[in-house]
Amino acid sequence: MPVPVILDCDPGHDDAFNILLAAAHPAVELLALTTVAGNQTVEKTTLNARRVCEVAGIRGVPIAAGRDRPLRGGPDREPRVAADIHGGSGLDGPGFGEGEPDVPQDPRDALTLIRDTLLTHPAPVTLVPTGPLSNIATFLLAHPELTPRIERIVLMGGSTGRGNTTPAAEFNILCDPEAADIVFSSGLPITMIGLNATHQARATPEVVARIAALGTPLARLCVQLLTYFAGTYREVYGFDTPPLHDPLTVAHLIDPSLISLVRAAVSVELTGTHTRGATVVDLHGVTGRPANADVGMEVDVPGFWELVIDAVRVLGEPAEGPPDTP
Ligand code: BDR
Ligand code: CA
Q: Name the DSSP letter for residue 97.
A: -
**Reported confidence tier of residue 321, pLDDT bands at 50, 70, 90:** low
Q: How many Å lie between the centroid of ligand 2 and the Cα of residue 322?
A: 38
| Distance of alpha carbon 250 from alpha carbon 117, whole angstroms | 19
pLDDT in tens, 267-307: 999 999 999 999 999 999 999 999 999 999 999 999 999 99
Q: How many Å lie between the centroid of ligand 2 and the Cα of residue 11?
A: 6
Higher pLDDT, 72 or 4: 4
72, part of any domain: yes
As a dihedral over the C-alpha atoms of residue 227, residue 232, residue 237, residue 239, rounded to 10 degrees, the angle is 10
Range of the domain at 109: 3-316
pLDDT at 153 over 60: yes
Q: How many Å lie between the centroid of ligand 2 and the Cα of residue 288?
A: 31
Q: Report how many domains make up the chain.
A: 1
252 labelled catalytic: no
DSSP for 32-54, please give it.
EEEE-SSSS-HHHHHHHHHHHHH
pLDDT at 319 over 80: no
pLDDT at 74: 58
pLDDT at 323: 61
Measured from the CB, is residue 294 less than 6 Å from ligand 1?
no
| Distance of alpha carbon 278 from alpha carbon 258, whole angstroms | 25
Q: Exposed, middle or buried by CB within 10 Å (0-12, 13-18, 19+), for 159?
A: buried
Average pLDDT on 264-269 reads: 98
115, part of any domain: yes
pLDDT at 57: 97
pLDDT at 320 over 90: no
pTM equals 0.96
Q: Which amino acid is at 294?
A: D
pLDDT at 62 over 80: yes
pLDDT at 290: 98
321, part of any domain: no
Average pLDDT on 154-165 reads: 98
- CATH code at position 95: 3.90.245.10
322, part of any domain: no
When the pLDDT of each residue in the chain is averaged and rounded to a whole number, the result is: 96
pLDDT at 78: 73
pLDDT at 76: 57
pLDDT at 326 over 90: no
Identify the weakest region by mean pLDDT among 71-80, 190-199, 203-212, 244-253: 71-80
pLDDT at 293: 98
324, part of any domain: no
| Distance of alpha carbon 114 from alpha carbon 135, whole angstroms | 10
* Catalytic residue selected from 143, 245, 274, 284: 245
128 forms bridges with which residues in the sheet? 7
Choose among 307, 126, 128, 127: nearest CA to 201: 307
163, part of any domain: yes
Q: Name the DSSP letter for residue 187.
A: -
Average pLDDT on 54-75 reads: 91
159, part of any domain: yes
| Distance of alpha carbon 91 from alpha carbon 217, whole angstroms | 17
Residue 10 alpha carbon, nearest atom of ligand 1: 6
Measured from the CB, is residue 155 less than 6 Å from ligand 1?
no
pLDDT at 140 over 70: yes
323, part of any domain: no
pLDDT at 322: 62
Higher pLDDT, 325 or 155: 155
Other Cβ atoms closer than 10 A to 231: 15
Measured from the CB, is residue 164 less than 6 Å from ligand 1?
yes
pLDDT at 210: 98
pLDDT in tens, 74-119: 555 678 999 999 999 999 999 888 889 999 999 999 999 999 999 9
Residue 14 alpha carbon, nearest atom of ligand 1: 6
pLDDT at 151 over 80: yes
Question: Residue 245: nearest ligand to its CA?
Answer: 1
